[in-house]
Amino acid sequence: MKLTFWGIWAKIISVRNMRCDLHVHSDISVDSIESMETYCERALELGVSFLSFTDHLNNMSDMPKNGYYDADKYFENLERVREKYDGRLQLLAGVEFGEPHRYRHEFEQTLKKPYDFIMGSLHIWYDGLFLSQMREVSVESAFETYWKEMYKMIEYGGYDAVAHFDFPKRLYKQVIYNDDYLNEIFALMKKNALTLEINTSLLRKGKADALPSSDILKLYKNAGNAYFTMGSDAHNVQDFYTNMEKPRKDAENLGLEEVVFIGRQAVPLL
């Protein structure tokens, strides 16, 4: 990674163990009513330095209330908290874009906006069903179709990080995969300079594993990838920055390095 202006800046100001939560939903998301300000107050209490609001940008038939996302309102809200917390919090402009490879025009429009961090997410891949509607679908079939669609999303690229990589685990409580196929996906992630998110949402539901599972994280590393981002995927302030420390340490023990994204550039935390 070449050292950018932001990289140099981060080296100057950075301290070890800087706390970051790069996956947070505010009331710009269809499924959250929490204000950005509420999270900012909590971030100050917890000593979190970097916070990225990544509201859902879903397209067409993906979700009810299609078109709910309002980029102008997002940036207006963000500007307000950026001014209020200037010098105290690093507030990054993020977005969680659903299925970018299927909504290319919308994705290209999104790239023109001043986001620091764009996550690609695969929420809907099976007959237009939400995960919660897939109870009748076998776990084998769910994962087989999921990985194929994931391959397409990774092949398309153009965003910064892949959110909640083994997402069907949220419903099925297990993961089915083929090492060779995931190795191909991870090689493609390296080629397309995509970073894997470690998403802690399942941990606060009492599950032992983050998304992705640690064995999948090893494959990611072994394919030559070096970085990860941390995200709680909080939709309310109680979930903000929860269960972050252990999975981060586990990833670091594997030899992976945490990064934040500023102006779409990965900046390692030293």
**Cβ 166 vs Cβ 211: under 8 Å:** yes
Our finding on whether 258 is near Zn ion (CB under 5 A) is no
Stretch that binds Zn ion, among 118-126, 202-210, 211-219, 259-267 (CB under 5 A): 118-126
Q: ∠ CA 143-24-56 to the nearest 5 degrees?
A: 60
Strands 257-262 and 265-268 turn out to be antiparallel
Tell me if 213 contacts Zn ion by CB under 5 A: no
Q: Taking contact as CB under 5 A, which single stretch among the options 96-104, 105-113, 142-150, 240-248 is the one that binds Zn ion?
A: 96-104
Q: Which residue has the tokens 């910064």?
A: 160
Pick the closer one to Zn ion by CB: 167 or 186: 167
Q: At closest approach, how far in Å is the CB of 158 from Zn ion?
A: 18
CB of 257 to Zn ion, least distance (A): 23
CB within 8 Å of 68: residues ≥ 6 apart: 29, 30, 56, 58
> Binding of Zn ion at residue 160 (CB under 5 A)?
no
Residues 46-85 that bind Zn ion (CB under 5 A): none
Distances (CA, A) of 121 to 38, 96, 106: 25, 7, 14
Q: Is 199 in the site for Zn ion (CB under 5 A)?
A: no
Task: Give the torsion through C-alpha atoms of 134, 140, 144, 145, to 10 deg.
Answer: -20
Q: Are 244 and 41 in contact (CB under 8 A)?
A: no
Q: How far is the CB of 9 from Zn ion (least distance, A)?
A: 28
Number of residues interacting with Zn ion: please give it, by CB under 5 A: 3
Compute the least distance from the CB of residue 25 to Zn ion, in Å.
6
Q: How far is the CB of 243 from Zn ion (least distance, A)?
A: 15
* Residue 197 binds to Zn ion (criterion: CB under 5 A): no
Which one of the spans 91-99, 103-111, 128-136, 257-265 is the region binding Zn ion (CB under 5 A)?
91-99
Query: Binding segment for Zn ion among 66-74, 117-125, 130-138, 253-261 (CB under 5 A)?
Result: 117-125
233 in contact with Zn ion (CB under 5 A): yes
121 binds Zn ion (CB under 5 A): yes
96 or 166: CB nearest Zn ion = 96
How many residues does this entry show for the chain? 270
Site stretch for Zn ion (CB under 5 A), options 76-84, 92-100, 173-181, 213-221: 92-100
Helix-helix angle 139-156:179-191, to 10 degrees: 20
* Residue among 218, 228, 219 nearest 269 (CA): 228
Asked if 115 and 95 count as a contact pair (C-beta separation under 8 A), the reply is yes
The three-state secondary structure class of 228 is strand
User: Three-state DSSP class for 5?
Assistant: helix
Q: Which residues bind Zn ion (CB under 5 A)?
A: 96, 121, 233
